[in-house]
Amino acid sequence: MRRILASLVACCLVGSWASAQTATPAKMAWQAGQVYSYKVEHSTQATDSVGESRSETKSVLRVVRNWKCSAVDTAGVATLEMSLSSMYQERTTPTGDTLLFDSEDLEKSTPALKDVMKKFLNTPLAVIRIDATGKVVEVKSSTTHASSYENELPFLVLLPTTGLEVGKGWDRAFDITLAPPVGTGEKYAAVQSFACKSIEGGKAKLSLSTALKAVPKAPADAIPLWQMMPEGEVVFDLEAGRLHSAKLSIIKELKGHQGDGSACKFTSTLVIETN
């Protein structure tokens, strides 16, 4: 009996040790002077139908987003400055009009947008402090509301401090904030769930999903939150210590939000690639 118990204890110890060894370290490797550049393409479509009346809006946004690291403190928190070096934006209004801005061909851009949009190019749009897990510690300045960096993390994932294990998941609890002009600062408790799908060739494939902790009493109140509820796959470069690529989508629909025969639908696709 003693031998059997000793063998069981030994197996448990070996099993625990082996399990601990399977975790792969993963962290954002910030370096002062480095620029982290990404090509981003985001397309959306929203439709709202009430009886025979139907309105639709579409948008396509393509930018090159650059994050320049100016400093890294002793705790591994980096100060990053974000700017855009190129932008293409096309938006179709409910009336069917198309508004266009193309930084590569300003002459084709909608005149009213030219002077407004080109001001957002090659100039600091945000300065944030972010740690090695991808958590934003401080928003020092931003042209958008500070809550936008909690609604969507700058590099999409919050890495677990314990490392990555294939098949293991973890959560990020946060508040979705509806800042002006969408809302007036209302907060909704939400959770993002991550899981490691695979680790191969120095890269980890991670799944991502977003859900509200509680559904609003009025179903229509969830509609403005849809755009902050993506799901999909993120690839993290373990060797470089940075986001490599991502493809996220949103497909939401609500029927009867304005009585019988009404329906609202929103779809979104976000693709990010290392530039």
Per-residue pLDDT band for 21 (boundaries 50, 70, 90) equals low
Query: What pLDDT, on the 0 to 100 scale, is given for residue 201?
Result: 96
123-145 tens-digit pLDDT: 999 999 999 999 999 999 999 99
CA atoms within 13 A on the CB side of 156: 28
Which amino acid is present at 64?
A: V
| 3-class state of residue 220 by DSSP | helix
Per-residue pLDDT band for 22 (boundaries 50, 70, 90) equals confident
Between 156 and 220, residue with greater pLDDT: 156
Cα 131 from Cα 49, distance rounded (Å): 44
Query: What pLDDT, on the 0 to 100 scale, is given for residue 17?
Result: 42
| 6 pLDDT above the threshold of 60 | no
* Distance from chain centroid for Cα 81: 17
- Strands 98-102, 78-92: pairing kind: antiparallel
Mean pLDDT of the chain: 92
| 113 pLDDT above the threshold of 60 | yes
221-244 tens-digit pLDDT: 999 999 999 999 999 999 999 999
Cα 63 from Cα 41, distance rounded (Å): 7
Domains of the chain: 26-274 (2.30.230)
| 20 pLDDT above the threshold of 80 | no
Per-residue pLDDT band for 10 (boundaries 50, 70, 90) equals very low
185-209 tens-digit pLDDT: 999 999 999 999 999 999 999 999 9
Question: How big is the CA angle at 19 (ends 244 and 11), to the nearest 5 degrees?
Answer: 165
Exposure b/e, 103-123, CB count within 10 A at least 16 = b:
beeeeebbeebbeebeeeeee
| 16 pLDDT above the threshold of 80 | no
DSSP 77-94: PEEEEEEEEEEEEEEE-T
Which two structure tokens, joined as six digits, stand for 87? Answer: 């932008």
Cα 11 from Cα 238, distance rounded (Å): 31
Cα 9 from Cα 74, distance rounded (Å): 41
Query: What pLDDT, on the 0 to 100 scale, is given for residue 8?
Result: 42
